[in-house]
Amino acid sequence: MSASDDKKQSQVSSANGSEMRLSGRSVSRGVAIGRVVNLHGNKRQFYKINLEDLQINREIRRFCDSIRLAKRQLKKIRRIKNEKAPEIQAGIFDAHLLILEDKSFLEKIETVIKEQKVNAEWAVKSVTESYVAKYKTIADEYLRERYIDLEDVAERILTALGGGGKTTIRLKKDSIIVAKEVKPSTLIELIESSPKAIISENGGWTSHTFILAREMNLPAVTGSAGILRHAQTGDEVIVDGYNGQVILHPEAETVRRYKLAAMQFQQINYNTVKAAKGAVKTLDGREIVIRSNLDLPDGYRLAKRFGAQGIGLYRSEFLFNQFKGFPTEHEQTKVYREIAEAVGKEGVKIRTFDLSAEQFTNGTEKKEKNPALGMRAIRLSLTYKKQFRAQLRSILQASYENKIDIVLPMISDVSEIMQTKKILETEKANLKEKGINFGNPCVGAMIEVPAAVLTIDEIASEVDFLCLGTNDLVQYLLAVDRDNETVSQWFQTLHPAVLRAIKKVLEAAENRGIPAVVCGEMAGSPFYVPILIGFGAKELSMNANSILRVRRVITGIAFEEAYELVKKIESCRTFGEIETLVNKNIREKWAHLFPAGL
Ligand code: PEP
Ligand code: MG
């Protein structure tokens, strides 16, 4: 990934035959050849699958299970809401229950599954759409507006289809996901189907979907405007995640050329595994600790083989996808313990749930207008204390005889750390009283909000370590949505404000004598690593698939050279000046470390 990728515009060009090339932005390296599977839906994403005769009865059963689950959920919510809400809310939930009991609606969906031989999600979508279209033609305004309830119920059924147990349907082996935007939860649901690549119209380099794609070694191209107009499920497609290219309906000669690259890409994963071990040092002997970021609990194995020294950031919120909702204290303890045992003495830093209110309450909480600035992460934890206490208790129990640290996300004020530490002490006392063993985890803070940078000395005095989350730091410092592809040119990692913030945080950690782990995507990008090292970073945490490339860069540069570069950077006034300077430096000094496509 290089900064120049930030500027690529999407364009569509048709070659002589039917082959069509679309330029986008590479967000995960690699090459794949396969068949398009269009992903539909916004809030909940799903795909159309053509079923074999044998699968139809099972699909109907899955649909019926989802209706039962949706009803149970609705009744539960109705009870909770009724305690404090006015009658009108109960009325809405009653209306939704009636829809779930409407025989003709349900039978129509079953008929579509049977006759069109499609998956339940698709049938729910198409029947709901036909109902909604009819509602919208009704003259009476009150009745016309009922289509919203229907859409709401359909959404609930679709959620239940995803959450009522594992989806039994698999995508075909060579599937390439094509969507306007792919949600991280959708990608996690699809893991077992092993899709080959992702093409999306939207989503930035640091969006969680592409962070996951890189972790899963799945080539991905974003910013492919127009792809949904041109690509139909089943179409042949090539994804070139080195050059940000998508080739639809490729000609035989193009396929032949890319086949070799695709095969080599598949092999790289295995052939290079044995390449690394032990500490990494720059040419002049500065030791840099490389840790791994982890999103999926069993992902450390590969990182370890690449020489990772523990986990610098475990995003525990991804458990919500695994457990289809809030994991219990027992489930969490088990997962945390398993991860810590797999990692060993080098330890794991578990980040407490970094979720939005909508994710946390499984869609029952009202959607926020601006979730990135809303009730999320530490704010949510300190509001829903019961669940926060459960998570802290799980970590405490798992840390007995295991090296586990706690990281608090989205800290904007030192008081949030102080409150958490108090809760932690209470929970330790509770466990002690019950005779349950627990450990003594260190506590650290994610530094990703400008307010935290400006009060870094206060924060550093209250924690055992810092984690520098550059993804959100760029987003919040520059006021640019990290998930929004249309503003990606303003997501400037090399902006002077970002680099000054990084320097300030690393210096504060050094002065206080505590470690600082850089764990945003910047740390896994060979292009940015020399700059981080020049600013004094000694610990980098990244996805497993970046480790070898980063190791290669670290062992090929001298700290003194990196330091000289950041001194020059500090005299630059704009992002453009810094980018030019870094590119020039790389061309002149480190060209051997940055072959095309790195
Ligand atoms: C970050 O913000 O840089 C970070 C590491 O966390 P996440 O990407 O999960 O927000
Ligand atoms: Mg973050």
Main-chain dihedrals φ then ψ at residue 332, nearest 5 degrees: -65, -45
Q: Which of 354, 447, 541 to mutate to test the pocket of ligand 1 (most atoms within 8 A of CB)?
A: 354
Higher pLDDT pick, 271 / 9: 271
Nearest alpha-carbon partner for 405 in 352, 356, 458, 342: 352
Does the structure show a pLDDT above 50 at 10? no
Nearest listed ligand to the Cα of residue 318? 1
Q: How far apart are the first and last CA of the chain?
A: 6
Q: Does 282 or 46 have the greater pLDDT score?
A: 282
For the chain, how big is the Rg over CA atoms in Å? 25
Of 96, 230, 467, 519, catalytic: 519
Whether pLDDT at 417 is above 50: yes
Average pLDDT over residues 137-160: 78
Question: Which run of H or of E encompasses 349?
Answer: strand 348-351
Give the burial class of 521: count Cβ atoms within 10 A of its Cβ; 0-12 exposed, 13-18 middle, 19 or more buried: buried
Give the type of residue at 257. R
Any idea which of 28-32, 257-261, 272-276, 549-553 has the lowest mean pLDDT? 272-276
**pLDDT value of residue 321:** 82
pLDDT band at 396 (very low <50, low <70, confident <90, very high): very high
User: How far apart are the C-alpha atoms of 317 and 328, rounded to whole Å?
Assistant: 13
* Mean pLDDT value across residues 543-548: 92
Task: Provide the pLDDT for residue 160.
Answer: 84
Non-local (6+) Cβ contacts of 191 within 8 A are 216, 296
Question: Could you tell me which residues come within 8 angstroms of residue 316 by beta carbon, excluding any fewer than 6 positions away?
Answer: 332, 336, 350, 351, 352, 353, 354, 391
For ligand 1, residues with CB inside 6 Å are 313, 315, 354, 448, 469-472, 519-520
The best mutation among 206, 317, 318, 412 to test binding of ligand 1, ranked by most ligand atoms within 8 Å of the C-beta, falls on 206
Contact (Cβ atoms closer than 8 angstroms) between residue 469 and residue 448? yes
Residue whose CB lies within 8 A of the most ligand 1 atoms, among 351, 378, 411, 448, for a mutation test: 448
SS3 116: helix
Q: How far is the CA of 502 from the centre of ligand 2 (A)?
A: 14
Q: Report the DSSP pairing between strands 197-200 and 175-179.
A: parallel
Distance CA 558, CA 8 (A): 31
pLDDT, residue 13, reads 52
CA nearest neighbour of 177 among 200, 158, 153: 200
Residue-wise pLDDT for 232-290, tens only, equals: 888 999 999 999 999 999 999 999 999 988 888 877 655 555 556 777 999 999 999 99
Q: Give 297-309 as a DSSP string.
A: TT-HHHHHHTT--
Pick the residue with more confidence: 447 or 589? 447
pLDDT band at 3 (very low <50, low <70, confident <90, very high): very low
pLDDT higher than 80, residue 140: no
Q: Is 70 exceeded by the pLDDT of residue 171?
A: yes
Q: Which residue would you say has higher pLDDT here, 493 or 589?
A: 493
Neighbours of 468 (CB within 10 A): 27
Of 2-6, 221-225, 260-264, 441-445, the least confident: 2-6
- Kindly state the average pLDDT of the residues 170-193: 84
Neighbouring CB atoms inside 10 A of 453's CB total: 21
Active site residue 208: yes
DSSP H helical ranges for 438-492 = 450-454, 456-460, 470-477
pLDDT attached to residue 11:
44
Q: Is residue 330 scored above 80 in pLDDT?
A: yes
CA 242 – ligand 2 centroid, Å:
26
Range with lowest mean pLDDT among 168-182, 223-237, 357-371: 357-371
Assigned token pair, 419? 């409150």
- Alpha-carbon span 255 to 234, nearest angstrom: 16
Phi-psi region of 217 (alpha: psi -120 to 50; beta: other; left: phi over 0): left
Ligand (nearest to CA of 519):
1
Measured by CA distance, the residue closest to atom 8 of ligand 1 is 471
Mean pLDDT value across residues 65-88: 69
Give me the numbers of helices (H) and strands (E) for the chain, helices first please.
Answer: 25, 19
Q: Which atom of ligand 1 is nearest to the CA of 520?
A: 3
467 is catalytic: no
Residues 514 and 512: their CA atoms lie apart, in Å, by 6
SS3 string of 140-163?
A: CHHHHCCHHHHHHHHHHHHHHHHH
Q: What is the pTM of this model?
A: 0.80
Interatomic CA distance for residues 249 and 242, integer angstroms: 19
Q: Which atom of ligand 1 is nearest to the CA of 522?
A: 3
Question: What residue type is assigned to position 51 of the chain?
Answer: L
The pLDDT mean for the chain works out to: 88
Q: Above pLDDT 90, what percent of the chain?
A: 63
Q: Could you give the angle at the alpha carbon of 244 between the alpha carbons of 276 and 177, nearest 5°? A: 90
The length of the chain, given as a count of residues: 598
Q: Which ligand places an atom closest to the C-alpha of 520? A: 1
Atom nearest to 313 CA in ligand 1: 5
| Percentage of the residues of the chain whose pLDDT score is greater than 70 | 88
Sign, Cα dihedral of 471, 473, 474, 475: positive
| Ligand 1 geometric centre to CA of 371 (Å) | 15
More confident residue, 3 or 169: 169
Token pair, residue 66, equals 């989802």
Two tokens at 496? 């002077």
Task: Classify strands 31-40 and 404-408 as parallel, antiparallel or unpaired.
Answer: unpaired
Q: Which atom of ligand 1 is nearest to the CA of 354?
A: 9
Pairwise pLDDT comparison (362 vs 401), residue with the higher score: 401
Specify the 3-state DSSP secondary structure of 180: coil
